[in-house]
Amino acid sequence: MTSTALPTTDELRTRARACLRTIGAQVTEGDDFPARTPVTGEHLFGLRAATATDVEGAVAAARAAFLTWRTTPAPRRGDLVRRLGELLREHKSDLADLVTVEAGKIRSEALGEVQEMIDICDFAVGLSRQLYGRTIASERPGHRLAETWHPLGVVGVVSAFNFPVAVWSWNTAVALVCGDTVVWKPSELTPLTALACHRLLARAAEESGAPRDVHRLLLGDRTVGERLVDDPRVALVSATGSTRMGREVGPRVAARFGRSLLELGGNNAAIVAPSADLDLAVQSIVFAAAGTAGQRCTTLRRLIVHRDIADTLADRLTTVYGRLPVGNPFDAATLVGPLITTGALDRMRHALSRVQVDGGKLLAGGNRRLAEAAPAAAYTEPVLVRVAEQTDVVREETFAPILYILGYDTLDEAIALHNDVPQGLSSSIFTRDQREAELFLSAAGSDCGIANVNIGTSGAEIGGAFGGEKDTGGGRESGSDAWKAYMRSATNTVNYSGELTLAQGVSFL
């Protein structure tokens, strides 16, 4: 089914300008690249891109601010993040509107993304009083051995379109309380949300007394990001995007002995065991596979179902997929908004052609919607495909709402299928058998950074570290001990004995 008529581009342009004005963000218009909306697929207005001089100036300013910020007591750094969280609460609706205009997310998901920002601010404020080191037992009498943690430097954040504000906040809130400064290069597909976030953080800095340049924003294409990646003054590059992008970023940062935190592709799977609660599984699967129009790195892309229940589950999913409302993301009834570009739709269609050549059977979806109303936009029905085996196209990540359904006979077979892809981000199992659940969570089970039981692959909370293994890059952001990526550790030895005692019993002089 299709939801209500789409807003016009003029209406979206007016809405975006009103939100930016309320937030206080200034838009410097130009001819370098367009701000656009996937809701209609059309341009909103032109923007100016950062030049090489702008990048140099931003990094230099952030480096200068770091020299002050690093010695500011961490709880005082937390005051800045606390104020940011308050401003996000105040402007939650405005920022969610911008997320929908630029990324095409349905209203509840857009509001949820801003809530993630608020939550990570709360987390980081608490963290500002918990940047703990440790005391270590020394083998030498009269000596104290300790580990301390110190701010790292300038953090470069390169973010993707699909979570245009949340991923920035995961990095920025934590980096700031750790004593780092941040230079942000957002996706060129979502510059307006970046302008809004930057203004809110600038206001928080003004009101909390933090240095103005603890955060700088650079708009533009990949050349802007490349300059940030290659700058030796950028101590850590946190980059979110495709595996292809990560293969370029990682070696470039390593070549100058910098640090990188990579959040890359996911080809996430869920195993559905014979004992699963199918009502719970269906709800979880549909949200994980069709939510955000399949454009989450944690989107469910492979469903590995025991053969005894595969037909039943496939039939139930086919029924639900047939009534998913696709269309205007501002309509409260809509569950599936647009793909980000028509290029994404082309890639989706190419993947479907390949899997059908391989023998895959299309069960539901795949039709384009609203093509006449918005020919430059990319609305499509989420797709279910039954496949006999994990072919090359199934092992790849297609950033679109395609869910492949495979069968299995034994849990060992299911886990082997699950792990037999290059990516290792998120995973889940639906089962009422505790032994199956524990095996899946064990070292012999899922090889992903996120492993869930009786819940889908998407919708992670900020309290846990977020990230994955293999081609997903190995990075960890957000909660748990992810903060350590934004700091450097030092091992300290203090001799209070009055005598020189060498380690390992060495005698000298």
For the annotated catalytic residues, the residue numbers are 263
**What 3-state DSSP class applies to 398?**
coil
* Gap between the Cα atoms of 223 and 488, Å rounded: 29
* Gap between the Cα atoms of 105 and 111, Å rounded: 9
CA atoms within 13 A on the CB side of 335: 17
Structural tokens at position 221: 């294409």
> What is the per-residue DSSP string for 82-106?
HHHHHHHHHTHHHHHHHHHHHH---
CA 502 to chain centre: 48
**What 3-state DSSP class applies to 451?**
strand
Work out the end-to-end distance of the chain between its first and last CA atoms, rounded to an integer number of angstroms: 86
| DSSP letter, residue 147 | E
On the 0-12 / 13-18 / 19+ scale of CB atoms within 10 A, 491 is exposed
Q: List Cβ neighbours of 186 (8 Å cut-off, separation of 6 or more).
A: 159, 164, 168, 193, 194, 217, 219
CA atoms within 13 A on the CB side of 466: 24
Do strands 426-430 and 42-47 pair parallel, antiparallel, or not at all (unpaired)? unpaired
* Gap between the Cα atoms of 287 and 483, Å rounded: 30
* Gap between the Cα atoms of 250 and 212, Å rounded: 30
Structural contact between residues 161 and 99, judged by C-beta atoms closer than 8 angstroms: no
* Gap between the Cα atoms of 208 and 200, Å rounded: 12
On the 0-12 / 13-18 / 19+ scale of CB atoms within 10 A, 293 is buried
Structural tokens at position 243: 């595996």
* Gap between the Cα atoms of 149 and 128, Å rounded: 12
DSSP E strands, 220-291:
234-240, 259-263, 268-272
Angstrom distances, CA of residue 375 to CA of 306, 368, 378: 41, 10, 8
* Gap between the Cα atoms of 297 and 241, Å rounded: 9
Q: What residues are paired with 377 via a beta bridge? A: none
Identify which of 409, 431, 403, 428 has the alpha carbon closest to the alpha carbon of residue 418. Answer: 428
Please report which residue ranges of 342-498 form alpha helices under DSSP H: 342-357, 392-395, 411-419, 434-441
**Radius of gyration of the chain from its Cα atoms, rounded to whole angstroms:** 24
